[in-house]
């Protein structure tokens, strides 16, 4: 991929330029500049201000000749013309010119055959530390002569002028697909840096025949790989951080001819009400040097309160993958034997686990049913049912059909088992029922990954038509039948029909999909 022009401008400033500082040095800069405070145990705690989650309505893609025919234009990928892009870029560079700047060079993609060299330029030490943490750090040899293919120009305290710049508000996240360049401003939420590169990789990897996935991944002692698709808050990080398996990564992966590889070098976990008993590995990172905690409450003595949601439900910890003791340092493994779709069903209708055939797998992949959880996006204050194509709607530059075909080809070639795991509600909808017990979810997952569910008795779910195990050791039989957990079975039936209708209505947008896939949805 050709390097965009004028990359020398990306660090042009009258101030100082700090290139590829160590974690310790970035800590000292951030603390000295008042960008964060030190917590007991060594984590640095920062406050992202007004924006405590992503701003999907302020995300744009530049319409330009080299890529416009493949971009999925619409509410996900709002267009910005090149003239407005150039004006916004010039404004950002002028803002940079009067500041000290931090430059971080890194890689996205652990597989050398499918990685990009990227550069993040920001006036904030904390955001440079975030980039160093979340992406793959080059070796000293790789840094010599490093040439970036992709660049993120980041200025969180610069706001756009909608009338002048063509944006919706003062916040902007703009991808130029041909230049492999991203502009970010008007938000201090560091997750925008991470997800903008994921969006870029979701555009690039399919061009190379690689399936990009919004999923976590781990591998067992026998080399059996499992991948976990799901939106934020559905359990990707929690369920993949299994002490009995090695962690490949917690959020973004590619699936190529050689197998699965992590796109990132770090993890970005939700930590609100994090439990040292249920999630010991992740909990420990919140007490560890090198971890960045966003919007977590901390007192004057540096003592954390992970239960306090006064700032946001979307409190986060960013840490290097290697902070998880059983992390796989190569960040690469073979082809999956198990594919898991995670859905946090706020209706309380889905069973805790179901087995899908290949047509059902594509149907539920395209549907991407889950619930948006509080705080993940601006304005989301309680769980709300939603459909996000490919479990990655906000990050898909191309049409969902592109990624569905890649999934189809992978399933046909490697024949993994496909599971739907409901990490949402049981015993009733949100407000009446309760969250699925994590112990039961883990027991069901372990049974599936170990092969213990291969030969058990299954029933056909009357609403969705997929297979649900009748009995799993260590899990109450009633939990496997969600209807039996409701006080009023008739109310369950009404809500199930409502959810089935939502699935069917949502799937109408996928005109031209294979008939067998379209027929693999709810039976009601």
b (16+ CB within 10 A) / e for 119-132: bbbbbbbbbbbbbb
CATH architecture of the domain with residue range 268-323:
Beta Complex (2.170)
Give the whole-angstrom CA distance, residue 136 versus residue 467.
Answer: 40
Mean pLDDT score across all residues of the chain? 94
Give the whole-angstrom CA distance, residue 317 versus residue 200.
Answer: 23
Give the HSE-up count for residue 147: Cα atoms under 13 Å, Cβ half-sphere: 7
- Fold category of 7-35+54-207 in CATH: Phosphoenolpyruvate Carboxykinase; domain 1 (3.40.449)
Q: Does domain 211-264+330-480 have CATH number 3.90.228.20?
A: yes
pLDDT tens per residue, range 67-100: 999 999 999 999 999 999 999 999 999 999 989 9
Give the whole-angstrom CA distance, residue 426 versus residue 350.
Answer: 8
* 216 flagged as catalytic: no
Catalytic pick among 237, 238, 315, 376: 237
pLDDT band at 299 (very low <50, low <70, confident <90, very high): very high
> Rg of the chain's alpha carbons, rounded to an integer?
23
* 410 flagged as catalytic: no
Global pTM reads 0.94
* 54 flagged as catalytic: yes
- Do residues 231 and 241 lie in contact, with contact meaning Cβ atoms separated by under 8 Å? no
Number of neighbouring beta carbons within 10 Å of residue 513: 16
User: In the prediction, which pLDDT does 381 show?
Assistant: 53
pLDDT band at 13 (very low <50, low <70, confident <90, very high): confident
* 169 flagged as catalytic: no
Catalytic pick among 127, 154, 270, 316: 316
- Do residues 187 and 257 lie in contact, with contact meaning Cβ atoms separated by under 8 Å? no
Number of neighbouring beta carbons within 10 Å of residue 85: 24
- Do residues 1 and 149 lie in contact, with contact meaning Cβ atoms separated by under 8 Å? yes
416 Cβ contact list (under 8 Å, min separation 6): 335, 336, 337, 338, 339
Catalytic pick among 89, 194, 195, 364: 195
**Crossing angle (nearest 10°) for helices 23-32 and 125-134:** 150
pLDDT band at 232 (very low <50, low <70, confident <90, very high): confident
Nearest CA to 346 among 422, 232, 236? 422
Give the whole-angstrom CA distance, residue 47 versus residue 211.
Answer: 35
Domain ranges of the chain: 7-35+54-207, 211-264+330-480, 268-323
User: In the prediction, which pLDDT does 210 show?
Assistant: 98
b (16+ CB within 10 A) / e for 354-368: bbbebbbbbbbbbbb
pLDDT tens per residue, range 197-209: 999 999 999 999 9
User: In the prediction, which pLDDT does 3 show?
Assistant: 34
Catalytic pick among 171, 216, 232, 238: 232
- Do residues 269 and 234 lie in contact, with contact meaning Cβ atoms separated by under 8 Å? no
Mean predicted confidence (pLDDT) in 312-336: 96
Catalytic pick among 214, 331, 362, 410: 214
pLDDT band at 1 (very low <50, low <70, confident <90, very high): very low
Give the whole-angstrom CA distance, residue 515 versus residue 252.
Answer: 30
* 145 conformational bin, left if phi > 0, alpha if psi -120 to 50, beta if neither: left
* 195 flagged as catalytic: yes
Give the whole-angstrom CA distance, residue 498 versus residue 319.
Answer: 41
Mean predicted confidence (pLDDT) in 189-198: 98
Q: State the Cα angle at 42 between 51 and 235, rounded to 5°.
A: 55
Give the whole-angstrom CA distance, residue 112 versus residue 371.
Answer: 35
129 Cβ contact list (under 8 Å, min separation 6): 23, 26, 27, 30, 44, 292
Grouping H, G, I as helix, E, B as strand and the rest as coil, residue 226 is strand
86 Cβ contact list (under 8 Å, min separation 6): none
* 237 flagged as catalytic: yes
* 179 flagged as catalytic: no
Grouping H, G, I as helix, E, B as strand and the rest as coil, residue 363 is helix
pLDDT band at 38 (very low <50, low <70, confident <90, very high): very high
Which residues sit opposite 267 in a β-bridge? 319
Adjacency order of strands within the sheet including 150-155: 17-19, 101-108, 116-122, 150-155, 181-185, 172-176, 59-62, 78-80
Residues in the chain: 524
Mean predicted confidence (pLDDT) in 117-131: 98
User: In the prediction, which pLDDT does 512 show?
Assistant: 86
Is the pLDDT assigned to residue 8 strictly greater than 70? no
* 214 flagged as catalytic: yes
Catalytic pick among 154, 236, 372, 483: 236
Farthest CA pair distance, the chain = 70
- Do residues 128 and 11 lie in contact, with contact meaning Cβ atoms separated by under 8 Å? no
Nearest CA to 431 among 493, 383, 370? 383
Is the pLDDT assigned to residue 4 strictly greater than 50? no
- Do residues 485 and 433 lie in contact, with contact meaning Cβ atoms separated by under 8 Å? yes
Q: State the Cα angle at 467 between 466 and 469, rounded to 5°.
A: 150
Nearest CA to 34 among 158, 124, 99? 124
Is the pLDDT assigned to residue 2 strictly greater than 50? no
Catalytic pick among 250, 251, 345, 461: 251
Which range, of 246-260, 307-321, 375-389, 476-490, averages the lowest pLDDT? 375-389
User: In the prediction, which pLDDT does 383 show?
Assistant: 66
């Amino acid at each position: 991929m050709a390097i965009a022009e004028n990359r020398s401008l990306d660090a042009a400033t009258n101030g100082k330029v700090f290139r590829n500082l160590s974690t310790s040095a970035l800590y000292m800069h951030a603390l000295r500049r008042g960008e964060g405070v030190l917590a007991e145990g060594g984590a640095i705690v920062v406050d992202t201000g007004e924006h405590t989650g992503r701003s999907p309505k302020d995300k744009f893609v530049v319409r330009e000749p080299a890529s416009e025919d493949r971009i999925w234009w619409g509410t996900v990928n709002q267009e910005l013309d090149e003239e407005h892009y150039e004006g916004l870029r010039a404004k950002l560079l002028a803002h940079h010119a009067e500041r000290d700047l931090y430059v971080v060079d890194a890689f996205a993609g652990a597989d050398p055959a499918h990685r990009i060299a990227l550069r993040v330029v920001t006036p904030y030490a904390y955001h440079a530390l975030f980039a160093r943490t979340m992406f793959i750090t080059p070796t000293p040899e790789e840094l010599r002569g490093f040439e970036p293919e992709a660049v993120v120009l980041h200025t969180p305290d610069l706001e756009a002028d909608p009338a002048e710049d063509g944006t919706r508000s003062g916040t902007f996240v703009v991808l130029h697909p041909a230049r492999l360049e991203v502009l970010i401003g008007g938000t201090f939420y560091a997750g925008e840096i991470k997800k903008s590169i994921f969006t870029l990789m979701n555009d690039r990897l399919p061009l190379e025949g690689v399936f990009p996935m919004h999923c976590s991944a781990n591998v067992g002692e026998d080399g059996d790989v499992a991948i976990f698709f799901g939106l934020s808050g559905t359990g990707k990080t929690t369920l993949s951080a299994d002490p009995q398996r090695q962690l490949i990564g917690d959020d973004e992966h590619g699936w190529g001819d050689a197998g699965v590889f992590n796109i990132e070098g770090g993890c970005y976990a939700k930590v609100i009400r994090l439990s040292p008993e249920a999630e010991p590995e992740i909990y420990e990172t919140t007490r560890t040097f090198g971890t960045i905690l966003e919007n977590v409450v901390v007192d004057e003595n540096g003592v954390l309160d992970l239960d306090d949601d006064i700032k946001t439900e979307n409190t986060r910890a960013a840490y290097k993958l290697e902070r998880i003791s059983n992390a796989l340092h190569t960040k690469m493994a073979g082809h999956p034997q198990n594919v898991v779709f995670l859905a946090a069903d706020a209706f309380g209708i889905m069973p805790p686990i179901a087995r899908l055939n290949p047509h059902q797998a594509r149907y539920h992949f395209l549907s991407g049913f889950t619930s948006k959880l509080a705080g993940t996006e601006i304005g989301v204050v309680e769980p709300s049912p939603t459909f996000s194509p490919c479990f990655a709607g906000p990050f898909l530059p191309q049409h969902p059909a592109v990624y569905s075909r890649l999934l189809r080809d992978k399933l046909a070639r490697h024949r993994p088992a496909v599971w739907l795991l409901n990490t949402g509600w049981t015993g009733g909808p949100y407000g009446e029922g309760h969250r699925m017990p994590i112990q039961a979810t883990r027991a069901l997952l372990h049974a599936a990954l170990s092969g213990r569910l291969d030969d058990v008795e299954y029933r056909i779910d009357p609403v969705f038509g997929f297979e649900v195990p009748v009995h799993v050791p260590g899990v109450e039989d009633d939990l496997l039948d969600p209807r039996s957990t409701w006080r009023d079975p008739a109310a369950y039936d009404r809500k199930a029909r409502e959810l089935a209708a939502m699935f069917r209505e949502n799937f109408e947008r996928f005109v031209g999909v294979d008939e067998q896939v379209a027929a693999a949805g709810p039976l009601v």
